[in-house]
Amino acid sequence: MDWIGIDGCRGGWVYIALEGGKWKAGVKSSIQELHQLLLKARLVLIDMPMGFPDFCEPVRSCDRLARKLLGKKASSIFPVPARETLNALNYEEANKVNREILGRGLSRQSWGIAPKLKELDEYLRSSGKRVNIREAHPEVLFWSLNHGKVVEGNKKTNKGFVDRINLLQILFPGGWEIYNYLQESYSRKEIGPDDILDALVLAVSARMSIMGLISLPEEKDLDLLGMSREIVYPDYYFPGSRKGVVIRTKKK
């Protein structure tokens, strides 16, 4: 499969893979179980931070830029913790470590995905920091696919969900079919509707990357272990041009 979208879910990792008009989808308990599929992909977009902030850059430049782009939906970009917090035994310890390194506390939301952050980080570093796996954010992708306009409403409401999946259905007619398949194949304890939606926009956006891929920030930004700190999206809004897109890369 050429284009893959991956999102974390209760059951592990939900993936949607596209090639031409064909697709395959499912849930794997670990990212390692997807290794062979990922090796053959042209591009994999994943909704999970890959590069970490540090004492020199406590807020990732890509997160700051994505928040500015999303405006009133900026809160969907949550602060990424320091890599050192991932080895903490509990939230209190992680919160203390994060405050010592980044100068701020750790949110419960960030701590909640710490196991997946650690799993992905270890996988990427052990598999050679592969360049075909890139970090993306669903709301940034919807912004791009919606011609530079934020999709209104919360994706967990009926209208917000339907508006988003209908947009994807236009770009990939199998969108609803994939959603229904995953809903029927897995329980709510394993995967939620929003997990499927996020994996779908990641996969469709990977497919749309043939029109070009834009990175926030534009310049290369690596963390202390050499992992890229970026958020990418397809150049679907005015393809081949940055017209109408304000991207500031200068750090504050």
Beta strands in 95-165 (DSSP E): 133-135
Q: Is residue 86 part of a domain?
A: no
**How many C-beta neighbours within 10 Å does residue 123 have?**
17
Q: Is residue 150 part of a domain?
A: yes
Q: Is residue 204 part of a domain?
A: yes
**Confidence at residue 236, expressed as pLDDT on a 0 to 100 scale:** 78
Stated as kind and residue range, the H or E segment containing 228 is none
Per-residue pLDDT tens for 197-245?
999 999 999 999 988 899 999 999 999 999 999 999 998 765 554 443 4
**Confidence at residue 81, expressed as pLDDT on a 0 to 100 scale:** 96
Q: Please list, in sequence order, all residues whose beta carbon lies within 8 angstroms of the beta carbon of residue 175, skipping any fewer than 6 positions away.
A: 165, 168, 169, 200, 204
Which parts of the chain register pLDDT below 50?
241-252
**Confidence at residue 212, expressed as pLDDT on a 0 to 100 scale:** 87
Question: Quick check: 221 and 61 in contact, CB under 8 A?
Answer: yes
**How many C-beta neighbours within 10 Å does residue 115 have?**
11
What whole-number distance in Å separates Cα of residue 140 and Cα of residue 66? Answer: 7
Provide the whole-model pTM.
0.92
The SS3 of residue 119 is helix
Can you give 171-205 as a three-state secondary structure string?
A: HCCCHHHHHHHHHHHCCCCCCCHHHHHHHHHHHHH
Name the domain count of the chain: 1
**Confidence at residue 130, expressed as pLDDT on a 0 to 100 scale:** 64
**Confidence at residue 240, expressed as pLDDT on a 0 to 100 scale:** 52
Four-point Cα dihedral 165, 143, 46, 94, nearest 10: -110
Question: 89-92 long-range contacts, Cβ below 8 Å, gap at least 24?
Answer: none
**Confidence at residue 131, expressed as pLDDT on a 0 to 100 scale:** 66
**Confidence at residue 211, expressed as pLDDT on a 0 to 100 scale:** 82
Domain extent at residue 145: 3-50+134-210
Q: Is residue 98 part of a domain?
A: no
Q: Is residue 40 part of a domain?
A: yes
